[in-house]
Amino acid sequence: MKDYLVISEEVKKALKKGKPVVALESTIISHGMPYPKNVETALNVEKIVRDNGAIPATIAIIKGKLTVGISEEEIDYLGKKGLDVIKASRRDIPVLVSRGEDGATTVAATMIIANLAGIKIFATGGIGGVHRGAETTMDISADLEELGNTGVNVVCAGAKSILDLGLTMEYLETKGVPVIGYKTDSLPAFYTRESDFNVNYRMDTPLEIAKAIKAKDDLKYKGAMLIANPIPEEYSMDRAEIDSVIENAVMEAEEKGIKGKDITPFLLDKIQKITEGRSLEANIQLVYNNVKLGAQIAAELSELE
């Protein structure tokens, strides 16, 4: 394993001492936001994690090494290269490792690598899910399987309505993944604080969430808890507006026949363009909000352990 896994000195030290560490993904940098906002956001995210008492560990595959705690230069490199970096999910890891290539890790791949390193909390913007029309396309993100299998708990802002939120909740239920709403009963829908669906449990403090995670680990359950943290009110978008933007983007993707791993980045880019960057600003702010909560949960969890 040590030939494959590279952990930065800072993260290694924190893990050894049982200090709180928060894993961060890299597909959001390369495929989720345009340059240079993506790099700026990724660096701010690391700072926010630190300001809230935890050590950030941004994860990517660098020259075939599963790297936990990539450097500022590497963040800049992935951000500049953008869509030319390989978007790496579970299936891609062994090939990229064997070929010594770079990969920006999705939620699924980041969970796998965080788990190898022994990190339990991971914060991001949105997860992949069951796509609209999955009854015929079978497009279901590998993120959901990973949440069912790997014990790295993910803080997100719910799921975007580029996905079928109802089917995504059903799938998570089948996999035994509890969806916890932070200070909310409604499943947040990324740009909006509410959706037509409810979370499984509402929790109002990071400590309550950390206790649930500890119980899961003590019971030796596999799989994750998904913590859904609504976007701060002041940055949330109008539901009717964003729904119609998403509707148009999904239709265009269908017309163009975009499929597989390309569809999520395509939709994210379209939405950002149609809303002239307003959705990008919302996206950035909700990520900041999530990494703050992630750091707080990690801090509580390290106290309990």
Show which residues are catalytic.
25, 160
> 175, 187, 126, 128: which is closest to 150 by C-alpha?
175
Q: Residue 12 touches which of Mn ion, ligand PSU, none (CB < 5 to 8 A by kind)?
A: none
Q: Are 40 and 280 in contact (CB under 8 A)?
A: no
Shortest separation between residue 233's beta carbon and ligand PSU, angstroms: 19
Residues 194-253, interacting with ligand PSU (CB under 6 A)? none
DSSP state letters, 1-32: -TTTEEE-HHHHHHHHTT--EEEE-SHHHHTS
x/- track of binding to ligand PSU for residues 108-147 (CB under 6 A): -----------------xxxx------------xxx----
Q: Which is nearer to Mn ion, 231 or 246 (CB)?
A: 246
89 binds ligand PSU (CB under 6 A): yes
Is residue 188 involved in binding ligand PSU (CB under 6 A)? no
Binding residues for Mn ion, rule CB under 5 A, total 1
Instruction: Confirm or reject binding of residue 28 to ligand PSU (CB under 6 A).
Output: yes
Residue 127 CB, shortest distance to ligand PSU, in Å, is 6
143 contact choice in Mn ion, ligand PSU, none (CB below 5 to 8 Å, kind-dependent)? ligand PSU
Distance between CA atoms of 208 and 165, rounded to whole angstroms? Answer: 25
Q: How far is the CB of 271 from ligand PSU (least distance, A)?
A: 9
Cβ(29)–Cβ(42) under 8 Å?
Answer: yes
Q: How far is residue 254's CA from residue 79's CA, in Å, rounded to a whole number?
A: 27
Q: How far is CA 164 from CA 90, 135, 159, 207, 244, in A?
A: 22, 11, 9, 31, 15
Please state, as a whole number, how many other Cβ atoms lie within 10 Å of the Cβ of residue 257: 6
Residue 160 in the binding site for ligand PSU (CB under 6 A): yes
How far lies 232's CA from each of 68, 104, 186, 270, 281, in Å?
29, 27, 14, 23, 12
| In the complex, least distance from residue 304 CB atom to ligand PSU, rounded to whole angstroms | 28
Q: Toward ligand PSU, which CB reaches closer, 8 or 283?
A: 283
Q: Which of residues 122-161 bind Mn ion (CB under 5 A)?
A: 139
Question: Which value, to the nearest 10 degrees, does the dihedral of the CA atoms of residues 66, 71, 76, 77 take?
Answer: -40
Cβ pair 196, 165 in contact under 8 A:
yes
> Which residue's CB is nearer to ligand PSU, number 143 or number 164?
143
CB 58 within 8 A of CB 70: yes
Site residues, Mn ion (CB under 5 A): 139
Binding residues for ligand PSU, rule: CB under 6 A, are 25, 27-28, 32, 89, 106-107, 125-128, 141-143, 160, 261, 264, 268
